[in-house]
Amino acid sequence: MNRKYYILTLLLFCSRLLFAQDVKFTASVSKTEVGTGEQFQIDFSVNGNADGFTPPSFNGFQVLSGPNESTSMTSINGSTTVSTSVSYILMAVKEGEFTIGPATAVVNHHRLTTNPIKIKVVKGRPVPQNSQAQSGPDNSISEGNTADLSKSLFMRAVVDKASVYQGEQITLNYRLYTRVDIEQSQVDKLPDLNGFWNEDIKNLQQQVQWHVETYKGMRYNVADIKQTILFPQHAGNLTIDPLGMTFLAKVPAPSHDIMDQFFGSFKEVKLKIKSPPVVIHVKPLPDAGKPDSFTGAVGNFKIEASVDKTELKANDALNYKVKVTGSGNIKLLKTLNVNFPADFEKYDPKITDTITDSESGASGSRFYNYLLIPRHQGNFTIDPLKFSYFNPATNRYVSLTTKAFNIKVDRGKNESNVTAFSAADKQDIKLLDKDIRYIKITDNGLVKIGDMFFGSFGYYLLLLIGPVLCYGAYTYRNWIIKNNSDIVKVKSRRAGKIAAKHMANAQKQLAANNTKEFYEDVFKGLYGYLSDKLNIPYANLDRETIASALKKRPVSEQLVGRLLDTLDLCEMARFAPVTHISKQEVFEKAKGIISDIENEI
């Protein structure tokens, strides 16, 4: 035991000597030129114990992994070196030249910064790998005192406005703050948001975007995990419910062992957290100045109307279109109150939305398309449409008016048969009795004697077609039953289709750059195809069985060799990286092998 503490004391003395030397804090990358979608690693290394590490902003890159931290100690010929390193796995997402700014850390009470690094991102293609500027050891930085996890991992519900008018839009962000590593997370309870009409903002990024933010004097890694647009439906104090989540975090753990205290000890902690509720004060819309045409629109809007024609015949269709553009509760707009001439038959409008939900709120356009049918000739006017909304930015109502349209309706061919209105005074006709029918002045619907379909050639032809179709269906059914009675032949015929499904899954994994899953799908696709095609149980398949079965069939030895090489490649790639051939080439090679076997067998 005394020897253990003697060695520890010696190591501590050596580390003190190291601090007295010149301390270097450097940054290095695995490559300085990458293609879009390509991964690379950046390392921040310091030859000493570092505290208060602050990473730079990785604008233009997606963080796939990190921070990955470690501390190491080496002793060579009596010279002891302590190194600390933090690494990130990044992926380039867009082309251009980017600069990764300096990282900062406190070493021996001195604040150090790294050198900025320039990264050139080209269009996705293989690029030569540059040598690292410096290869440091694996990484680890202590998180400090994490006894109170509520200060190291918590959520907030952040709104852009806490006092609004009824119907005014609010942007809500459920924001996560952390100073510890998060291993897993899951949602326990989504907020009910009672009293609000809500619409989630869809995140086009597949992963959460992290950034560094200072909150109450402390720096955190921050991410918006859920973004929603809210529209309060009534006045009063409305409460935004908490979002509940469970996290599995990796935190430093205290230890009585002096070796653990020196090198650091960590443990996984399961923590349930909720965002604090937020109260929104909703003011009622003012009654002063409220126009009669106001129906609840709140925001900032424009309106315009149009018709597809100004001259037509009676009983022809006319389209009256209204476009409302702006930002606000545009999805909650009610049907517009349009006054059309009494002679026009009106149908309910077709409503089409072109609306975008973003952090700034909902904005876009709503289109109303009214189908109108004038029933009599004459000159008519579609009155201007009045539309009003409340602008919360100016606390005032705004009224808009579209232009009027003069419509000329000419006499239609069948206008005399229309009985909805009187052509003279345009007043409604009263129904006197149900046994009165209006006189028809045309021959519409009348058929001459002898010209009826019954008894004609077409009538007897249809009678004959019925039994013929029944016999054909019966014959086809028997052929299907006979063709599917041989299970071996059925599996052989369908082998190509089943293999195509596996190859489709492999193509998805290829697009997502999931190397292990890609090779597994290609491997399963080839083995499943051979099992069905050769009628060999999947568990009995191996290289010798496959080669022997194919040689008994009219398959060339060259094709058999290509197949076996591809199977060996997929088997090896499932457990070790393959660099001499690209995944795309493997995919095309596997598809070609299946196609060639289908053609030869």
Which tens digits make up the pLDDT trace of 125-163? 443 333 333 333 333 333 333 346 778 899 999 999 999
> Which candidate, 42, 49, 39, places its Cα nearest to that of 67?
42
- The pLDDT mean for the chain works out to 79
Mean pLDDT of 315-332: 93
Q: Is 394 helix (H, G, I), strand (E, B) or coil?
A: coil
Q: Read off φ and ψ for residue 264, nearest 5 degrees.
A: 100, 140
Q: Read off φ and ψ for residue 413, nearest 5 degrees.
A: -65, -40
Domain 294-413 has CATH 2.60.40.740: yes
For residue 301, the model assigns a pLDDT of 95
CA angle (239 as vertex; 162, 329 as ends), nearest 5: 60
Q: Is the pLDDT of residue 454 over 80?
A: no
Which tens digits make up the pLDDT trace of 525-546? 888 888 877 788 877 777 788 8
Report the Cα 450 to chain-centroid distance in Å: 66
CA-to-CA dists, residue 209 to 54, 57, 467, 469, angstroms: 17, 11, 67, 63
Identify whether 242 is preceded by a cis peptide bond (ω within 30 of 0). no
User: Quick count: other Cβ atoms within 10 Å of Cβ 16?
Assistant: 11
For residue 129, the model assigns a pLDDT of 37
Q: Is the pLDDT of residue 264 over 60?
A: no
Eight-class DSSP state of 4:
H
Sole residue written with tokens 């086009």: 204
Higher pLDDT, 147 or 377: 377
- Please give the class, per CATH, of domain 149-283: mainly beta
Range with the poorest average pLDDT among 192-206, 257-271, 580-594: 257-271
CA angle (25 as vertex; 19, 27 as ends), nearest 5: 155
For residue 426, the model assigns a pLDDT of 41
Mean pLDDT of 276-296: 92
Q: Is the pLDDT of residue 573 over 90?
A: no
Mean pLDDT of 447-466: 76
For residue 137, the model assigns a pLDDT of 30
Q: Is the pLDDT of residue 374 over 70?
A: yes
Cα separation, 562 vs 272, in Å, equals: 54
What residues does 27 pair with on adjacent strands? Answer: 44
> Domain-by-domain residue ranges, the chain?
2-122, 149-283, 294-413, 487-600
Cα separation, 496 vs 531, in Å, equals: 11
Higher pLDDT, 570 or 19: 570
Higher pLDDT, 56 or 488: 56
Higher pLDDT, 488 or 17: 488
Q: Could you give the residue ranges of the DSSP H alpha helices within 231-362? A: 258-263
Residue 23: its H or E element: none
Mean pLDDT of 502-526: 83
Q: Is the pLDDT of residue 418 over 90?
A: no
Q: Is 102 helix (H, G, I), strand (E, B) or coil?
A: coil
Mean pLDDT of 65-84: 61
For residue 340, the model assigns a pLDDT of 92
Cα separation, 555 vs 597, in Å, equals: 7
Mean pLDDT of 108-135: 65
Residue 591: its H or E element: helix 583-600
Mean pLDDT of 358-385: 92
Higher pLDDT, 48 or 546: 546
Higher pLDDT, 477 or 52: 477
Task: Please say whether the beta carbons of 64 and 139 come within 8 A.
Answer: no
Q: Which of 135-173 are b and which e, b meaning 16 or more Cβ less than 10 Å from the residue's Cβ?
A: ebbbbbbbbeebeebeebbbbbbebeeeebbbbbbbbbb
Which tens digits make up the pLDDT trace of 166-194? 999 999 999 999 988 888 888 888 888 88
Domain 487-600 has CATH 1.20.120: yes
For residue 283, the model assigns a pLDDT of 94
Which tens digits make up the pLDDT trace of 426-447? 444 444 444 455 555 566 666 6
Q: Is the pLDDT of residue 51 over 90?
A: no
Cα separation, 346 vs 38, in Å, equals: 58
Q: Is the pLDDT of residue 588 over 70?
A: yes
For the domain spanning 2-122, the CATH number is 2.60.40.10
Domains 149-283 and 487-600 share a fold: no
Q: How large a percentage of the chain has pLDDT more than 90?
A: 27
Mean pLDDT of 367-373: 94
CA-to-CA dists, residue 515 to 41, 570, 594, angstroms: 18, 11, 21
Treating both helix axes as pointing N-terminal to C-terminal, what angle do 515-534 and 487-511 enclose, rounded to 10 degrees? Answer: 170
